[in-house]
Every structure is written in C-alpha cells, then in structure tokens.
Chain A
C-alpha cells in the first residue's frame, strides 16, 4: 500500500475521526488505544530476579555487567512517551522508569560507544538491531517499571528496552544486554521481513518501505 497512490473509496466507510491535536500525534496507519496489547513470537519467559543481569558486550568481551540489585543502584530516569506498534496500535503518554543507555555507558566507563550499531538480546532468544545514535541523549531506556509499578512479564518484565521513537518491536522485551556490532545486521523480526530501522513517521514497517 503506497499512500501516494489514489486509494479506492470503501463504500459506506466513515471511520472514527480524530481531533486535529490527536491526528498530529498519530503516525500514518496507526490507531490510538487505551489498552496495552501484547505481541510476542513465543511464550513469555519468567526469569527470576536473582538470575537476572544486564550486560554490555563487544564480541567475546563483556565490557560491563550488572546484577538486578546493582542495576537498581544506577541512576533511574522517568520517561513519558507515546508508543507505536507495527501492528497498528499507538498508545499515548506511557510512563516508564529505568536506566538510560547514556547512564549505562557512563557506569561502564565508556566515554563513547565502541561501534555505531548494537544488537539488543533477550531471554527467549529475541534480538533486534539499532543504531547507537538512536539510544543516546536520553532517547532510550532499559525500563523496569511501567506506571510506577514493576513491569509485568507479558509486557517484557523484569526489564525491557524502550525506544519510543521507533516501532515498538525495537523496544526488546526481557532484554538482557546490548552487543556492540561494527556493522548493522538484522535481528529477529528484521530477518523475517520487517524494516531494519522502523521509523513510524515514515511508516517503515516492512523491508523496502
């Protein structure tokens, strides 16, 4: 579907119009829901907190690793943002709390990231690729709380990546670390036909968009 082409009118379809203010907040092809739907490829992992850790990895080298309690000691940041799922729903003003990637790099003693890309990896084997620049300057969080309560497992708890300016599959659930990679390569959904970058405002849903 290419928005530049003339679309046939669906006879009798009216739809649910949005206010102008709302329309400006909703990327093309999205609808707003007060619910919090779930999209996952498999069962929800349930990792006990005492077995949980978060790592920064570069090839075989483990640059830094934090246990759950160490992770709680890091500077916690609150973010309120609109989120946009590739399955068409958007949700306004979601409230997250966790550790920014800036804070993680600083705590690991890194003045800059060693590469321009990372692969986020999760319990259950999920991966997703991101440009490093999209994770810095407060644009991304490893969140452990949603609406001021511990993040539920179905929504990615104990911790998920939150990168609200990209489609939400980039916000890896059950995230356990970031692996620095020299060249961009596809993660799980990206190798199954989804877009490498995933900007909702450019409607980059699938490869080739």
Chain B
C-alpha cells in the first residue's frame, strides 16, 4: 500500500485467479467483522490490467464506514473479498482509436489512471488530453505518474486546475471546470474525440454539461459519478 495524499491510499492486491480487467472498470470490496457483520463498497481499479494483481485507489470519506478502515486500519497481509471486474460502459481500449479526453475530479483520476497505463503500453502517440481538477496541489493524486507518462510521450497533454488554493507561482487553472476551460484545452469536436469524465457528482454534472455545450455529442461522453449529490434532499 502507498499513501497518495493525506486522505488517499493505493492498495495493491494479490488476487488468485484474477484474469485482468478492462481499463475503467471497478470492483466491489466486502469487509467482514468478527461477528459476521458485512459492508460492501465499490472502488475503481487504477492499475493496468494484469493477471493476479490489481491496484485500488481509496479516498477516505470522513464519517465513512469502509474507506476509513481501508485507508487507516488495513495492513499489508490483510485479506478481504473482492468481486469483479464490474462495468461495461465506462471502459476504454486502444482499439477505440479516437483522440482521448480524460476529465477527472479528485479521486476520479483512478479509472483514468488505468486508461493512461494501458495507453502508455499499447497506444503511445494517441492524441490524449487530461484535465484534472483537485482542491489543492497536495490533492493531485498520481502526479508522479502523470509526469512520467507525459515525459515519455509528447502526444499526452495534462492540464491541472486547483479549486481551493494554489501554491505561490502557480500558472495552471484556479477554478472549477467550465466551458471556457474546455474550449482552451479540449479537442475540437471535428477531431471526433471520446471523453471520459469521473469524479464527484456535482463536478461530473458540470463538466459533462460543459462538454455538451461546446459541441461534444452525448454518446461520446462517458461518465462515472461517485459520492453524494451535494444537494439537500
């Protein structure tokens, strides 16, 4: 396991019989207490597909039931149950061929990191743009990996936007993702790109709406939302 930020941790899991997955998919994790009580949650796979191993990114939800355990209590050698891989729509394979636009908010970078890992092996040179929204610079997860992938491949562009605070001298964006930002960084619709958007519900709603408003057809925008809606209900 590896801490990615103060609130997020990568878990590397050895799984007997695991056949690999498609980039973008998730798994269900089930924890069992000593008296048999169980809790299940879904987590995106952040690693490239391979047999017998996968990596999950877990962001600690304050007051959560499962994520504080996985990011705090769990130790190397612990065992728990997995089911998956799950999900057949929010997936990407190199055969898609189209320019690739990846938009992440917070820990929504996880399934997109899996996509980028596949791309780095099987589709280097594919025009790809990453737009990643995080609260602060410390909350940019997988920053090292993003830098490595970008260094190896000029066809990959990464833009960051920080919504809460930015370090001195920050030259990137400093606001939530909006249509004006997409006009600056996203592929022209005439390039026929495919977009994957993953993050908290409000961020995905806003980014997907903005993509539609700049002309991306809805059928080429795939979304994965997580967490509460942020609306009072």
User: Interface on A for B, CB 8 Å cutoff?
Assistant: 1, 7-17, 29, 31, 33-45, 87-88, 91, 124-125, 146-147, 152, 154-155, 188-189, 191-193, 206
Task: Identify the stretch in B75-83, B123-131, B150-158 within 8 Å (CB) of chain A at 4 or more residues.
Answer: B75-83
Q: Bound complex: CA of A193 vs CA of B65, how far in Å?
A: 27
Total inter-chain residue pairs, C-beta < 8 Å:
125
Known: A1-B28, A88-B42. A40 touches B79 (CB 8 A): no
Of B6-14, B175-183, B204-212, the stretch lying at the interface with chain A is B204-212
Q: Which residues of B contact A (CB under 8 A)?
A: 28, 30-34, 36-42, 65-66, 69, 73-75, 78-83, 86-90, 201, 205, 208-209, 211-212, 218-219, 221-223, 225-229, 231, 233
Partner of B233, one of A36, A41, A42: A36
Q: Which residues of B contact A192 (CB under 8 A)?
A: 87-89
Contacts of B81 in A (CB 8 A): 1, 7-8
Q: How far is the CA of A17 from the CA of B219 in the complex (A)?
A: 42
Chain B residues with Cβ below 8 Å from A125 are: 218-219
A40 touches B34 (CB 8 A): no
- Counting chain B CB atoms within 10 Å of each CB, which of A42, A45, A125, A147 scores highest? A42
CB distance from A157 to the nearest CB of B (A): 12
Within the complex, which residue of A15, A38, A155 is in contact with B37, where a contact is CB–CB below 8 Å? A15
Known: A11-B78, A193-B86. A38 touches B222 (CB 8 A): no
- Report the Cα distance A37→B65, complex, angstroms: 16
Closest B residue to A147 using CB positions: B233
